[in-house]
Amino acid sequence: MKDLLKQLTVLYGPSGREHTVADVIESLVKDKVDSVRRDALGNLICEKKGTGAKRIMFAAHMDHIGLIVTHVEKEGWLRVSNVGGINVNMSRARRVKFMNGVQGVLYEQALKAGENSALSTLFIDIGAKDEAEALSMIEIGDIAVYAEPAFDVGKTRMVSPAMDNRSACALLIGLLSNLPENHQSIVAVFTAQEEVGVRGATVAAYSAQPDEGIAIDVTVAGDIPELKLNAVKMGEGPAVKIKDTRSISHPDVVKRMIDAAKRAGVPYQREVLPYGGTDAGAMQLSRGGMPVGTLSIPCRYVHSACEMIDLQDMENGLKLLVEYIKA
Amino acid sequence: MDLKTLCELNALGGREEAVRKVVYDICVDKLGKDAVSFDGMGSVIAMRKAKNTSLPRVMFAAHMDEIGLIAVSAGDDGLINFRAAGSVDPRVLLSKRVMVGYGEDAVPGVIGYMPIHLQSSDEYHAAPTIEKLSVDIGAKDKAEAESKAPKGTHITFATKYTEFGDGFVCAKALDDRVGVYNMLRLLDAEYDGELTLAFTSREEVGLRGSKTAGFRVQPDIAIVLEGTTANDLGDTEDRFKVCIPGQGPCVSFMDLSSIADHELFKLVLKAGQAESVPHQIKKYVAGGNDAGAIQRAGAGCKTVVISVPCRNIHSPSSVCSLQDVDNQYHLAQATLKHLMKG
- Mean residue pLDDT of chain B comes to 96
Q: Does B236 touch chain A (CB under 8 A)?
A: no
**Quick one: what percent of chain B has pLDDT higher than 70?**
100
Nearest to A41 among B281, B283, B295 (CB): B295
| Domain B3-66+172-341 coded CATH 3.40.50.10490 | no
- Work out the minimum CA distance from B172 to partner chain A, whole angstroms: 28
Cβ–Cβ under 8 Å, residues A193 and A63: yes
For A16, the closest chain B residue by CA position comes to B259
Is A141 in Cβ contact with B300 (below 8 Å)? Answer: no
Edge-first strand listing for the sheet containing B162-164 = B162-164, B168-171, B318-321
**3-class DSSP state of A41:** coil
User: Could you say which of B259, B281, B298 has the minimum Cβ distance to residue A206?
Assistant: B298
CA distance B271 to chain A (A): 17
pLDDT in tens, A158-204: 999 999 999 999 999 999 999 999 999 999 999 999 999 999 999 99
Residue A228 above 80 pLDDT? no
Using a CB-CB cut-off of 8 Å, the residues of chain B touching A206 are 298-300
The pLDDT of A135-149, averaged and rounded, is: 95
- The mean pLDDT of A251-275, rounded to a whole number, is 96
Q: Which of A146, A121, A126, A148 is nearest to A137 (CA)?
A: A126
- The answer to whether residue A313 scores a pLDDT higher than 90 is yes
Average pLDDT of the residues in A205-233: 91
A307 pLDDT higher than 80: yes
Interface check for B284 against chain A (CB to CB < 8 A): the answer is: yes
pLDDT band at A227 (very low <50, low <70, confident <90, very high): confident
pLDDT at B166 over 80: yes
Arithmetic mean of pLDDT, B160-175: 97
Q: Does residue A194 have an active-site annotation?
A: yes
Do the domains spanning B3-66+172-341 and B68-157 agree at the CATH topology level? Answer: no
Residue B113's pLDDT is 87
Long-range contacts (CB closer than 8 Å, 24 or more residues apart) made by A30-38: A32/A176, A32/A177, A32/A179, A33/A176, A33/A186, A33/A188
Question: Tell me, what's the pLDDT at A136?
Answer: 98
For residue range B227-243, list pLDDT tens digits in order: 999 999 988 998 999 99
Give the best residue of A65, A68, A69, A81 to mutate against chain B (max B CB count within 10 A): A81
Q: Do A82 and B285 touch (CB under 8 A)?
A: yes
Nearest-CB residue to B259 (from A16, A43, A204): A16
Contacts of B296 in chain A (CB under 8 A): 41, 199, 202-203
- Per-residue pLDDT at B275: 97
Q: Does A257 touch chain B (CB under 8 A)?
A: no
Interface membership of B280 toward A (CB under 8 Å): no
- pLDDT tens-place string over residues B85-124: 999 999 999 999 999 999 999 999 999 888 889 999 998 9
CA distance to partner chain A, nearest, from residue B139 (Å): 48
The confidence band for A257, taking pLDDT boundaries of 50, 70 and 90, is very high
Contacts A68 to B, Cβ<8 Å: 253-254, 285
For chain B, say whether A121 makes contact (Cβ under 8 Å).
no
DSSP letter assigned to residue A89: G
Q: If you measure CA to CA, which chain B residue comes closest to A74?
A: B238
**CA nearest B41: which of B198, B178, B230?**
B198
Interface test with A, best of B242, B254, B270, B282 (most A CBs within 10 A): B254
Contacts of B295 in chain A (CB under 8 A): 40-41, 199, 203
Work out the average pLDDT over B186-207: 97
pLDDT value of position B253: 97
Q: Do B239 and A73 touch (CB under 8 A)?
A: yes
The domains of chain A, with CATH numbers, are 2-64+161-326 (3.40.630.10), 66-146 (2.40.30.40)
> Which candidate in A18, A47, A148, A194 is catalytic?
A194
Cβ atoms within 10 Å of B41's Cβ, excluding its own: 18
Lowest-confidence region among A144-148, B114-118, B190-194: B114-118
CATH topology of domain B68-157: Elongation Factor Tu (Ef-tu); domain 3 (2.40.30)
Instruction: Report the residue from B220, B285, B298 with minimal CB separation from A70.
Output: B285
ipTM: 0.90
Specify the pairing of strand A143-146 against strand A292-300: unpaired
Residue A8 is classified by DSSP as H
Q: CB burial class (10 A; 0-12, 13-18, 19+) of residue B4?
A: middle
Asked if residue B181 has pLDDT above 90, the reply is yes
pTM for the full model?
0.94
Domain range summary for chain B, segments of one domain joined by +? 3-66+172-341, 68-157
Confidence of residue A92 (pLDDT cuts 50, 70, 90): very high
Q: Looking at residue B133, what is its pLDDT? A: 95
pLDDT one-digit tens code per residue, B223-280: 999 999 999 998 899 899 999 999 999 999 999 999 999 999 999 999 999 999 999 9
Higher pLDDT, A163 or A222: A163
| Average pLDDT score, chain A | 96
- Interface contact flag, B254 A83, Cβ < 8 Å: yes
**SS3 for chain B, per residue?**
CCHHHHHHCCCECCCCHHHHHHHHHHHHHHHCHHHEEECCCCCEEEEECCCCCCCCCEEEEEECCECEEEEEEECCCCEEEEEEECCCCHHHCCCCEEEECCHHHCEEEEEECCCHHHCCHHHHHCCCCHHHCEEECCCCCHHHHHHHCCCCCEEEECCCCEEECCCEEEECCHHHHHHHHHHHHHHHCCCCCCEEEEEECCCCCCCHHHHHHHHHHCCCEEEEEEEEECCCCCCCCHHHCCCCCCCCCEEECECCCCECCHHHHHHHHHHHHHCCCCCEECCCCCCCCHHHHHHCCCCCCEEEEEEEEEECCCCCCEEEEHHHHHHHHHHHHHHHHHHHHC
Question: What pLDDT is attached to residue B97?
Answer: 97
CA distance B336 to B191: 6
Banded model confidence at residue B69, pLDDT cuts 50, 70, 90: very high
> Could you tell me how many CB contacts below 8 A there are between chain A and chain B?
70
